[in-house]
Amino acid sequence: MGDDPGRLYRLDGVAHIAGVINDERFVYTMLVASSSLHISIRRQQGMRLDERCVPYLQMAGLYHLARLNDRWFRLDEPLVSAFVERWRPETHTFHMPFGECTITLQDVAYQLGLPVDGHYVSGRLTDFHLYIEGGRQAWQWFHELLGVLPPKNQVQKFTVNCTWFQETFGECPDGADEETVRRFARAYIMMLLGTQLFADKSGNRIHIRWLLYVARLEEMGGYSWGSATLVWLYRCMCRVANRHVVKLAGPLQLLQSWIFWRFPSFRPTGYDEISWPLSSRWSGYNPWISNKGPRVQMARLKIDLLQPRDFILDWHLHWQERAEHILQFDIVPEPGPSHDFLT
């Protein structure tokens, strides 16, 4: 490292945010995107989950995630910001005073109720249309699957404004035939994936790459949506660890719920009822929106004082102690081995 203490905060030649946390200009480095996250969640909530679409969501392995839309919590920006400052892209772990820890596949399964086994979710964003079967044009396929095309002013390259999805597929009409229900289910799933799990920094557009999956609703449950979600969160946190990146996107609800479960000292009070998925416990949580600067600093100090006993490591023991309190669930996964890293 030589004599330059600043190199401690450099990762592959990129300045880490931890090196400038005392600079007031960088207090809100990752907080800028939070408003987009809330807007995306509200837009998804604006699309009512029709009971006729539930079987398709169950087949896709996304039903538990859909149930969270009606009772979600707001992001605690200062708390999440303080934790992201501890993220190290070299190891995909949070460096804490007592050692390293990270979000695992097991956490994803318990917190969001997503499947973690099955085929991997893949595909490039820029040229995904080259892999569409039958040589279809991307927008032709969009029309075939959803029954309607968005106007040009609602389209940017291969993305569509969330507002158009919400207004067009907000409520499935009474007496709709099965094909119409499938179209509304496809639109709902595309919004669910694009706003809840794989949101970008804009927070207001849906990429039509999800056509590749919603075209076969019966096969969607065979994909490991949980591992794809975890990979996307890792990637987003690695990007924002660079002090020159000013927005954090991704499944931040997973990150916040993980913090609350693994670090009891950071949990909000008054949320003792446990339901399934576990992240639904924080239903209605609404953190303070003022004094964000001082709250970031307080969160940093609390993290500095953490001891091994302040972190819940053993999910098996914790699950056995809490399982009898689970009030709402359809299928609760059996506790399994923890997957600490993705390659």
Q: Of 266 and 138, which is predicted with more confidence?
A: 266
Q: Is the dihedral of CA 106, 111, 114, 120 positive or negative?
A: negative
Q: Average pLDDT, stretch 63-85?
A: 83
Q: What is the pTM of this model?
A: 0.83
> What share of residues in the chain are helix, strand, coil (percent, to 5)?
50, 10, 40
Q: Among 22-26, 69-73, 287-291, 302-306, whose mean pLDDT is lowest?
A: 22-26
Cα–Cα separations (whole angstroms), residue 147 to 143, 205, 267:
5, 19, 45
- Measured CA to CA, the distance from residue 196 to residue 60 in angstroms comes to 15
Query: What's the chain's average pLDDT?
Result: 80
Q: Is the pLDDT of residue 21 over 90?
A: no
Q: Give the C-alpha separation, 6 to 316, whole Å.
A: 41
Residue 108 has pLDDT above 60, yes or no: yes
Burial class (CB in 10 A: 0-12, 13-18, 19+), 57: buried
pLDDT value for 332: 40
Confidence (pLDDT) at 129: 66
Count other Cβ atoms within 10 Å, centred on residue 342.
14
pLDDT of residue 320: 46
Average pLDDT over residues 53-61: 96
pLDDT at 335 over 70: no
Amino acid at position 171, single letter? E
* pLDDT digits 0-9 by tens, 164-199: 999 999 899 999 999 999 999 999 999 999 988 998
Residue 174: count of CB within 10 angstroms of its CB: 5
Other residues' Cβ atoms within 10 Å of the Cβ of residue 74 = 17
Residue-level pLDDT at 227: 96
Question: Vertex 124, ends 29 and 54: CA angle to 5°?
Answer: 85
pLDDT value of residue 292: 79
The half-sphere exposure of 185 on its side-chain side, counting CA atoms within 13 A, is: 26
Question: Measured between alpha carbons, how far is 103 from 260 in angstroms, rounded to an integer?
Answer: 12
pLDDT tens column, 31-47:
444 444 444 454 455 67
Is 235's pLDDT higher than 60? yes
Euclidean distance between CA atoms 306 and 197, whole angstroms: 29
Share of the chain above pLDDT 90, in %: 45
Residues near 127 by beta carbon (within 8 Å), at least 6 away in sequence: none
Ramachandran quadrant class, 286 (left: phi over 0; alpha: psi -120 to 50; beta: rest): beta
Rounded mean pLDDT, 138-145:
91
CA proximity to 92, closest of 307, 279, 241, 257: 241
Cβ atoms of 313 and 96 closer than 8 Å: no
